[in-house]
Amino acid sequence: MADTTQSGPMLAADGSPLKRSLSRTLRRQKLRALLLIAPLLIFVLVTFIIPIVSMLFRSVENQIVSHTLPQTVEALQEWDPNSGEPPDEAVYQALFFDMFKAAEAKRHTQVGNRLNYEQPGLSSMFRGTGRSLDDMGEEFEDALVDIDPSFKTSEFWFELLSGEGADSFLKDRRAKLAAMAGESMRGDIGFAPSAKALELLPATTEAYTDFAIWTAIVEEDVVAEERPWEAVYAGLGVDLRSAEVVQQIASYDGPGAAALKAAVANIDQLPQESFRDMFAESDEDWLDTEGWRTMALYSPDYTTGYFLNSVDLQKTIEGVEARPETQQIYIKLFIRTLYMSLIITGACILLGYPVAWILANLPLRTANVLMILVLLPFWTSLLVRTSAWKVLLQQQGVINEILVWLGFVDDANRLIIMNNATGTIIAMTHILLPFMILPLYSVMKTIPPTYLRAAKSLGATNWTAFWRVYFPQSVPGIGAGSILVFILSIGYYITPEIVGGTDGVFISNRIAYHISSSLNWGLAAALGTILLLVVLALYWCYDRIVGIDNVKLGG
């Protein structure tokens, strides 16, 4: 035999060493298993895990401010929030150009809404001023056109600012505009800013380049044929306020030199009002430092603000502090959610334990019939059961009618058992009871009845036998059922929404409110993240106690 004479490693039938052959088979088995799992794993990752992760991300994401108002945020870095003074002119000037673009893209109201969550009133300030931006720019436009009619023509601006050598500048503007509008700004725009113009008239070139990109890509028009934005005129006005620019124009001889020189000559006809005053004229509150402090606080790309908000704290310049008493709702809501879930879990244990016991100890045939009584509600639509409780619990409902008919409750003082915590607890106990009974039953089924008899024959009373012998063995079932019921109940939405009124709602109702009504999605995401963490912690416990492989459905 080859095996006996050979001193080397054992060989498989094909002559390769047995060890390698075996590990190859193992590898192939692993690969086959993974290939079978892969489609579903990818499917769940894409359709479920990624959405959840994107929600987690949204709870800290705050790019809307820095994307919509990039230059303002940059200029605001210089401002000292504790100075008690509004920021200086440079910030207002940057705000004008940022807001003008944002208003074109209709994004200024969104950033206003975002800031409004932190300080009520900012939304209307942004919306109102967004309407008067055109007027501010028109003052410059009118003055310039009065000085020289060629400012009115689109060709003038195109020739003045076209050129080459400023490719990186154009790329930068595209990126900023894309971030602001949330859409791609790639593509040919039929315009290239000139490096010379950029040096001479920086604000004008910037505004015109933004206009060119926007006109060509979003509005799909030809840049050279369109009248520029009012912001471009304002840009020229801003540039002409600098003595240095005025000096350079004197020695400038490129396209449009005549018009520029005319503008310099009549510089006193241009509006001299500062942007700060213009903003103040549009809305007094622009001079209020509180709004600017909020903006400075929420200008970074990522913020802990939503999380602080969801635990009743707030971010201020001085640091983290508690919200005013009247605005503290989330901690209370979290505690109520946990507290009511505990009551529901307790009620389910109380009601479920005897039923599970009797199901486990009756003869199989009877138990199967009774099991249907447990499974029928389990299989019935959640909404059916919730509407059933609405029928039963309302003031003119079945329970109240019967009590009034029997004379136990006065017609005028009907019990209020709906639209409050009681209603939620009763209805949810009913809805979640099967989730307690089924795991309890499957654990109790494995406890041999002989143990109880043995305990009794050794002299234990009924109670001792139950408490010292049976109950400890059923504890895993209680644990499994409780965690299952608790997990399900702290995330419940439908039933509290319908029978909970205002006192009986859970944190999930608040999340839904922020998603669909107040549109404060970041806060909804932060609240959801906290809830998710609680559930995952509980799930980890469940895995420890029961193991996910042992989850059973419907007996």
Partner 1 sequence: MSDLKVSIPRPPLTSFTLPLTAVLGAMFGFVAGNVYGQPWIGALGGAVVGAVMAFVAHFMSDRRTVTRWGTIAVLAITGLLAGGLGAAFSGVIIGAVMSWFAYWLDSGAYRKNVPIYYTAGQTLWYNSFLFICGLVFFFLIAPLLPVMWLSFNAEDFFTFTPEMLNFQAEGYSLKHYRNFLGTEEWMTPLKNSLIIAPFATFISVSLGTLAAIGLSQSHVPGRQAIMAILISPMIVPLIISATGMFFFYAPLGNWLEANLNLDQRLVGYMKVILAHAALGVPFVIITVTATLVGFDRSLTRAAANMGADPITTFFRVQMPLILPGVISGGLFAFITSFDEVVVVLFVGSAQQQTLPWQMFTGLREQISPTILAAATILVTVSILLLAAVELLRRRSERLRGLSPG
Residue type, 530: I
Q: Which of 9, 128, 187, 354 binds partner 1 (CB under 8 A)?
A: 354
Contact between 408 and partner 1 per CB under 8 A: yes
Other beta carbons less than 10 A from residue 133's beta carbon: 26
Q: Which is nearer to partner 1, 87 or 491 (CB)?
A: 491
Q: Which is nearer to partner 1, 168 or 396 (CB)?
A: 396
* Percentage helix, strand, coil for the chain under 3-state DSSP, each rounded to 5: 75, 5, 25
Q: Are 279 and 129 in contact (CB under 8 A)?
A: yes
Site for partner 1 in 19-48 (CB under 8 A): 26, 29-30, 32-37, 39-41, 43-45, 47-48
Site for partner 1 in 52-71 (CB under 8 A): 52-55, 58
Residue type, 342: L
70-to-101, 109, 297, 537 alpha-carbon distances in Å: 11, 16, 14, 40
Q: Which of 389, 435, 441, 486 binds partner 1 (CB under 8 A)?
A: 389
Q: Which of 368, 457, 464, 518 binds partner 1 (CB under 8 A)?
A: 368
Helix (H, G, I), strand (E, B) or coil at 321: strand
| CA dist., res. 155 & res. 220, Å (int) | 18
Q: Which of 127, 390, 414, 445 binds partner 1 (CB under 8 A)?
A: 390
Q: Which is nearer to partner 1, 156 or 493 (CB)?
A: 493
Q: Are 455 and 468 in contact (CB under 8 A)?
A: yes
Number of residues that bind partner 1 (CB under 8 A): 96
Site pattern 477..516 for partner 1 (x: CB under 8 A) = ----------xx-xxxxx--xx---------x--xx--xx
- In angstroms, give the least distance from the CB of 198 to partner 1: 34
DSSP secondary structure letters along 11-79: B-TTSSBHHHHHHHHHHHHHHHHHHHHHHHHHHHIIIIIHHHHHHHHHTTB-HHHHHHSHHHHHHHTTS
Q: Are 118 and 298 in contact (CB under 8 A)?
A: yes
Site for partner 1 in 444-483 (CB under 8 A): 462
- In angstroms, give the least distance from the CB of 261 to partner 1: 48
| CA dist., res. 524 & res. 531, Å (int) | 11
433-to-106, 344, 346, 494 alpha-carbon distances in Å: 51, 9, 10, 17
Site pattern 121..140 for partner 1 (x: CB under 8 A) = --------------------
Q: Which is nearer to partner 1, 113 or 154 (CB)?
A: 113
Other beta carbons less than 10 A from residue 404's beta carbon: 17
| CA dist., res. 189 & res. 141, Å (int) | 24
Q: Which is nearer to partner 1, 126 or 521 (CB)?
A: 521
Q: Which is nearer to partner 1, 245 or 452 (CB)?
A: 452
Q: Which is nearer to partner 1, 195 or 375 (CB)?
A: 375
Q: Which of 265, 317, 322, 370 binds partner 1 (CB under 8 A)?
A: 370
Q: Which is nearer to partner 1, 129 or 386 (CB)?
A: 386
Q: Which of 388, 415, 460, 541 binds partner 1 (CB under 8 A)?
A: 388
Site pattern 324..353 for partner 1 (x: CB under 8 A) = ---------------------------xx-
